[in-house]
Amino acid sequence: MAQAFTRDPDDGARIIGFLEDVERSLVIELMYQTSVLLSDGSEDAGETDEKGAPSDGDTHDDLFAALSRSMAEREAPQDPALRRLLPDGVKNDDAAASEFRRLTESTLRDGKLRNLDIAMRALEEGFVDEEQAAAIADDVYERANDPAARDERDDAGEREGNDDNLQDGLSDGSREVVLDEASARAMMMALTDVRLVLAERLGLRTDEDAEALSRQVEREDAPNSPEDLLAAYYDFLTWMSESLTLAVMRKA
């Protein structure tokens, strides 16, 4: 079971939380889907090395590629979730909004992708092997996209095992997620962006909407629809984000 993030009492520079493998895989999958949504087709946008710094490469090529992207005309995203991640910088003036987007969107987009990349790398540390991770990710995808089809496959015996068997194959406890100050802040921003996407998909517009959804999740024993599942994801990520924010605010 997940445990809240706290400052390491023996090393105040470290922030430690605990996530079960299935929880960790879920967060990684949601972050990956958000990074796909944000991607503008540049395969290396937002990539970092193992320390979270921009990936090595030809500095001049990287500079000109970034400049080319930033100078290109930008239209407001059609997907409302992406528009929530990359909002208009100027209201009630389409020309000014377009110019502002042209000058700033590429940098904003790449920064968000970089935060997501750092967060996913941190979550992948000490994770299960690739086969188990893939099995969990497949299960998460099925739950989120087609629970009816999943139930049919369960009934037909086409799935290899079930949720209980999958869980039995994983760690019987939680694993540490260890962050330094920089990766913790990147994780906070990445979680915020994932929650923005989920909030848009769920139609959340106000704090009251979010509070009502949290009460709904608390009342339900298990998700009964894709919307219920997204609501449970949003509620879990909200708890995780608040926990991490409090830990970061408690300076060593």
CA distances, 173 to each of 137, 150, 176, 241, 252 (Å):
19, 26, 10, 21, 28
In this prediction, residue 87 carries a pLDDT of: 86
| DSSP line for 28-62 | HHHHHHHHHHH--S-TTTT-B-TTSSBPPS-HHHH
In this prediction, residue 219 carries a pLDDT of: 86
In this prediction, residue 19 carries a pLDDT of: 93
| DSSP line for 161-213 | S-HHHHHHTS-SS-EEEEE-HHHHHHHHHHHHHHHHHHHHHHT--SHHHHHHH
Q: Where are the domains of the chain?
A: 3-50+115-249
How many whole angstroms separate alpha carbon 217 and alpha carbon 164? 22
In this prediction, residue 12 carries a pLDDT of: 87
In this prediction, residue 170 carries a pLDDT of: 37
In this prediction, residue 42 carries a pLDDT of: 45
In this prediction, residue 135 carries a pLDDT of: 56
In this prediction, residue 48 carries a pLDDT of: 52
Residues of the chain with pLDDT under 70: 40-76, 126-174, 252
In this prediction, residue 67 carries a pLDDT of: 45
In this prediction, residue 116 carries a pLDDT of: 96
Q: Encode pLDDT of 35-70 as tens digits.
A: 999 986 444 444 555 544 555 455 555 544 544 454
pTM over 0.85: no
